[in-house]
Amino acid sequence: MLAPVIRAYIAAETVDAMHDNANLATVLRAEIDALQRLVKHATDALDKAKADAVAEGVATYSLTQRETPPNKAEYVALHGRDAFDAHKRVSTVRTFAWLM
């Protein structure tokens, strides 16, 4: 149900990029930019709606505590670099980048 609204938003936001001479990369950039703006607007609206609900007394935030491990700098300070190197996990990070 929301998909047509999103498609209409993208179309309205990318009309300048859709001219006859636009290449696919230009159109895709415009679509991604429009979606990023949409996410920002939606996140701001959601945050405001939650704040309004709390201000009206119909909602609240529950506070809990959780334990978290030390970050890299804290671990190295506590146990030394050799211990960190012996116990660290390495993962692959996927980062989006334009080629053109």
Q: What is the pLDDT of residue 2?
A: 67
Q: What burial letters (b/e) apply to 1-33, b meaning 16+ CB within 10 Å?
A: eeeeeeeeebeebbeebeeeeeeeebeebbbee
Contact 75, 84 (CB under 8 A): yes
Can you tell me the distance from the alpha carbon of 14 to that of 1, in angstroms, rounded to the nearest whole number?
Answer: 21
Contact 34, 14 (CB under 8 A): yes
Q: What is the pLDDT of residue 5?
A: 77
């980062």: which residue's tokens?
95
Q: What is the pLDDT of residue 91?
A: 96
pLDDT-derived band at 48 (thresholds 50, 70, 90) equals very high
pLDDT in tens, 7-38: 787 777 777 666 656 688 888 888 899 889 99
